Chain A
Amino acid sequence: PAPLPFAVGQCGNQVGCRFWDLALREHAAVNKKGIYDEALSSFFRNIDTRSGSDGPDIYKGKICSLKARALLIDMEEGVVNEILQGPLRDVFDSKQLITDVSGSGNNWAVGHKVYGCQYQESIMETLRKSAEHCDCLQCFFIIHSMGGGTGSGLGTFILKLLEDEFPEVYRFVTSVYPSGEDDVITSPYNSVLAMKELNEHADCVLPIENESLFDIVNKINQMINSGKLGSTLKPNSLVTSHAGSAKTGQEKPFDAMNNIVANLLLNLTSSARFEGSLNMDLNEISMNLVPFPRLHYLVSSLTPLYTLADVNVPSRRLDQMFSDAFSRDHQLIRADPKHSLYLACALLVRGNVQVSDLRRNIERLKPSLHFVSWNQEGWKTGLCSVPPVGHSHSLLALANNTCVKPTFIELKDRFKKLYKKKAHLHHYLHVDGMEQSCFSEAISSLSDLIEEYNELDAMKGGPRTDPSRLKIAT
């Protein structure tokens, strides 16, 4: 089953680039014989390039030339051009790329209204072609940032487009939220305008905060530099660097952070690609973690974040992995799930981990977590046999928890600060189709969402009376 990724904007494409690189390396590590198998086919097509770069697809047999199933979209050429000149140039087909030159000027309205309109046709065309090449389209995956113009504006335009054209296909979005000190002044406007679209048109959103990624990378660097773990820590892993991808020159500033997001996506899709005793694909994640349509924002945490040289991991270390997943150090957004209310939680484990290990750890962790009264056993679990490269096992935890509320409240506050003074508003209102009501509707949508979380929180800790059962005449 193929998830079809869309990388939109600068952030989206930089993360996307890391993702494809890691995906290739992950499959290369597992697929020693160079056979084009089911697992590979979920992310890559196999093209017969002997007759030129536009050859037919090869569905079985040896790998000839792998092409990523993806759409890369940016209204500036810089990032995409770099990808096309870099080591991944053969993985992408020019027909999958949609670019322009001038960018969106960090303006959601330009991305959404101007470029949306302008590129609607060609996006649809490219999308239909890609869909044709998939024998089964399972879901769409958008990778973008919220704070800029293209990823945020055009990205959410595409979201709406996908809903209209393919209403039955799940829409998963990985959104990078700006930090408070983001250097794009208008990022609160862009984010809130984009949030309305995510509220209404996304099935599932994984919000990610740059600050969290930054903290994680810092901690890893500290550990490496302090030599605390000595020879047990391998600095080169899929998580911390892209050493081994034949890239020369220095690491770019966001590379390590983007690697983490890329790893998140790899783990998220691992059970759909590789076998295991309890499979969990993206549709199941959406089904189990979204009890009410608008409450579809999931807190993700990933462990381990560095490689241990000691592959023979005893049980105690395995349990530590579960504990880590519930520690704030490993979360990709700054939030406090332990002191808020869980609506649902998913654990996707990779490697030699069995159902008894899962159950033992759930029993151990459960007492310290607050689950909503109608979902006391709200755990969705998956076991994938194939671990990530360089690790013996890993764990991805996804939580639908009211702890996202503060993030949204902060966003709303930052928006209001700007909006009160009407700062920079004219840049938006200039754009055809943008009116003041777009802003008021967007902030209202965000307020409603926050209110829904408030209502759930109000229930927490209250007396729990089970509803009385149906009575049957005897």
Chain B
Amino acid sequence: MSIITVQLGQCGNQIGPEVFSVLCSDACGTHGLCSKKENESYCGACKERFFCEEESEVPAARAVLIDMEPKVISQTLSVAARSGCWKYDDQSHFCQKQGSGNNWANGYSVHGPRHKEAIMNLVQREAEKCDRLGGFFTIMSMAGGTGSGLGAFVTQCLRDDFPTSFILNHVIWPYGTGEVIVQNYNSVLTLSHLYQSSDALLVHENDVIHKICAQLMNIKQISFRDVNQVIAHQLGSVLQPTHTAGGSHYSRNPLGDLMETLVPHPEFKMLGLRNIPQMPENSLAYSTFTWPGLIKHLRQMLIANAKMEEGIDWQVRPPGPGSSTPSSHSTNKPLHFNTSIANLIVLRGKDAHSVDLGSFQDPSLYTSWLTPQDAFKAWKTPRAFNKYEKSASLVSNSQFLLKPLDNVVGKAWNMFASRAYIHQYTKFGIEEEDFLDSFTALEQIISSYTLL
């Protein structure tokens, strides 16, 4: 089944091409460290999922590019075309000239309805090119006006027009210290609206990825491109084909599998992603990892809510049997231990099939709603990913995002109390009431995750 990627705003249209580059160069590359047959199977599955093969030309990404100003898309199209490995369909983009001015209301209430038909026509066109549509993957930032506001509107339209397709929103959490001053308002409005139409929100935080670039990748002058490339690698590690449980064929329904595994309850849609190891390309040849080592680190990263494999707090332990559950005193209790609803591990590389993942089935990691067998799933493939001999990813529906979410809502609320900037939103039809509804919705989500 195919996945259509919807790139929204500057962020979405800058990350998108990095993702397709990774997917394509990995799939067509020769670093698979596996049999030719396996490689071909992998490559074929990737192509079907993300690319449309044209007759004699390079494959075209299954993507729709949307922005309210022209410069970024224009750049994105030409960079892709120059790569020689893949490209975008010339007609799959939609842009305007005036931008959204970082104004969620402008993106949602003005640009959305105005351009709905043109945008959904493009989506329909891409959908018709797929033999079977598996769902949508949208890439957007919460901080600005287009990705966030228009993105929320488009997600709603996707839900209306494709009621049985899966929608996974990839959401970029902005740097805590200003990219955009009204980013917290835009974030609150985006998250509350996405929650209603999306199946799951997969989050990447700029601050976290920035740290990875600084401390693990050893990059001195970190650019947005560097950040986007790490994000693309992490996404690729989840999105590339893997075998279904015990099977030897590549899974046909990745988004469906993801949702089924990780989102058992509609109140809990926030997914975090961790991927290890992460290092500069020129160090890859000199490093070796063992699966037990990687699994041990990933498990502790989960438990201690660590964002990368350095600085993990090894003191944190899951609650022992018989200890009182934290939920009854949750408002004051510091949340050292990260409780999970469900987890997914993706392993890529030699001997992936024989890895012991028992430590992730420990019931003390989870809430009591699902059995550990249901709360934990693993996808594997012996085929190595993106030149890493072994790569392990964790997609987690847990309290990973509780603190960032609480921070954003807190800052937005603080600003809202003085009604600063509200006139900019009411100008385009988003009233104080709409803000209050969004705040209420998010406080509810925060409360739900806190009480796990």
Which residues from B are CB-within-8-Å of A373? Answer: 414
A355 CB-CB contact with B under 8 Å: yes
| Shortest beta-carbon distance from A472 to chain B in Å | 5
Which residues from B are CB-within-8-Å of A471? Answer: 443
Given A1-B98, A379-B177: A467 touches B420 (CB 8 Å cut-off): no
A248 CB-CB contact with B under 8 Å: no
Contact, CB under 8 Å: B70 / A38: yes
A390 CB-CB contact with B under 8 Å: no
Q: Which of B69, B411, B440 is in CB contact (< 8 Å) with A279?
A: B69
Contact, CB under 8 Å: A283 / B99: yes
Which residues from A are CB-within-8-Å of B102? Answer: 283-284, 287-288, 380
Contact, CB under 8 Å: A278 / B179: yes
A474 CB-CB contact with B under 8 Å: yes
Which residues from A are CB-within-8-Å of B447? Answer: 472, 474
Contact, CB under 8 Å: B421 / A275: no
CA distance A344 to B420 in the complex (A): 11
Q: Which of A274, A292, A375 is in CB contact (< 8 Å) with B423?
A: A292
Q: For chain A residues 433-474, which have a beta carbon within 8 Å of chain B?
A: 466-467, 469-472, 474
* Nearest residue, chain A, Cβ from B14: A277
CA distance A286 to B102 in the complex (A): 10
Which residues from A are CB-within-8-Å of B99? Answer: 1, 138, 279, 281, 283-284
* Nearest residue, chain A, Cβ from B425: A287
* Nearest residue, chain A, Cβ from B10: A279
B285 CB-CB contact with A under 8 Å: no
A34 CB-CB contact with B under 8 Å: no
Which residues from B are CB-within-8-Å of A127? Answer: none
CA distance A377 to B415 in the complex (A): 11
Partner-contacting stretch, out of B130-138, B219-227, B337-345? B219-227
Contact, CB under 8 Å: B179 / A381: yes
Q: Which of B98, B175, B414 is in CB contact (< 8 Å) with A136?
A: B98
Contact, CB under 8 Å: A356 / B222: yes
Which residues from A are CB-within-8-Å of B366? Answer: none
Q: How many A-B residue pairs have CB under 8 A?
A: 139
A354 CB-CB contact with B under 8 Å: yes
| Shortest beta-carbon distance from A43 to chain B in Å | 14
Q: For chain B residues 401-416, which have a beta carbon within 8 Å of chain A?
A: 409-411, 413-415
Contact, CB under 8 Å: B443 / A472: yes
B70, B175, B447 — most chain A CB neighbours (10 Å): B175
B379 CB-CB contact with A under 8 Å: no
| Shortest beta-carbon distance from A316 to chain B in Å | 13
A359 CB-CB contact with B under 8 Å: yes
The total of chain B residues at the interface (CB under 8 A) is 53
A135 CB-CB contact with B under 8 Å: yes
CA distance A278 to B172 in the complex (A): 14
Contact, CB under 8 Å: A470 / B223: no
> Mask for B415-452, Cβ within 8 A of A = 1, else 0?
10110110110000000000000011001100100010
> Mask for B111-154, Cβ within 8 A of A = 1, else 0?
00000000000000000000000000000000001000000000
* Nearest residue, chain A, Cβ from B70: A38
Contact, CB under 8 Å: A286 / B101: yes
Range of interface residues on A (Cβ < 8 Å): 35 or more
| Shortest beta-carbon distance from B210 to chain A in Å | 7
A378 CB-CB contact with B under 8 Å: yes
Which residues from B are CB-within-8-Å of A290? Answer: 421, 424
Given A1-B69, A284-B101, A291-B421: A472 touches B444 (CB 8 Å cut-off): yes
Q: Which of B97, B224, B415 is in CB contact (< 8 Å) with A1?
A: B97
Contact, CB under 8 Å: A275 / B223: no
B72 CB-CB contact with A under 8 Å: yes
| Shortest beta-carbon distance from B23 to chain A in Å | 22
Contact, CB under 8 Å: B414 / A374: yes
B355 CB-CB contact with A under 8 Å: no
CA distance A332 to B380 in the complex (A): 61
Contact, CB under 8 Å: B181 / A344: yes
A88 CB-CB contact with B under 8 Å: no
Contact, CB under 8 Å: A288 / B177: no
CA distance A380 to B179 in the complex (A): 5
* Nearest residue, chain B, Cβ from A400: B181
Contact, CB under 8 Å: B221 / A354: yes
| Shortest beta-carbon distance from A402 to chain B in Å | 14
CA distance A359 to B226 in the complex (A): 15
A357 CB-CB contact with B under 8 Å: yes
A362 CB-CB contact with B under 8 Å: yes
CA distance A355 to B99 in the complex (A): 22
Contact, CB under 8 Å: A381 / B178: yes
Given A1-B97, A287-B103, A470-B413: A378 touches B443 (CB 8 Å cut-off): no
Which residues from A are CB-within-8-Å of B10? Answer: 278-279
Contact, CB under 8 Å: A275 / B444: no
Q: For chain A residues 371-425, which have a beta carbon within 8 Å of chain B?
A: 373-375, 377-381, 383
B371 CB-CB contact with A under 8 Å: no
Contact, CB under 8 Å: A469 / B443: yes
Q: Which of A286, A466, A474 is in CB contact (< 8 Å) with B410?
A: A466
CA distance A94 to B107 in the complex (A): 39
| Shortest beta-carbon distance from A317 to chain B in Å | 14
CA distance A357 to B451 in the complex (A): 40
A432 CB-CB contact with B under 8 Å: no
30 contacts between A and B (CB under 8 A): A1-B97, A38-B74, A136-B97, A137-B98, A138-B98, A138-B99, A275-B75, A278-B224, A281-B99, A283-B99, A284-B102, A287-B103, A287-B145, A288-B180, A291-B421, A355-B175, A355-B227, A356-B210, A356-B214, A359-B210, A374-B414, A374-B417, A377-B176, A380-B178, A381-B179, A469-B409, A469-B410, A470-B440, A470-B443, A472-B440
B: residues with CB less than 8 A from A are 10, 14, 69-72, 74-75, 96-103, 145, 175-182, 210, 213-214, 220-225, 227, 409-411, 413-415, 417-418, 420-421, 423-424, 439-440, 443-444, 447, 451
Known A-B contacts: A291-B420, A375-B181. Give 18 more (CB < 8 A): A135-B97, A277-B224, A279-B71, A281-B99, A283-B103, A288-B102, A288-B182, A344-B181, A355-B227, A357-B221, A359-B210, A377-B411, A466-B410, A469-B410, A469-B443, A470-B443, A472-B443, A472-B444
The 8 lowest CB-CB distance pairs between A and B, nearest first, are: A379-B178, A283-B101, A136-B97, A356-B222, A291-B420, A467-B417, A354-B223, A277-B224
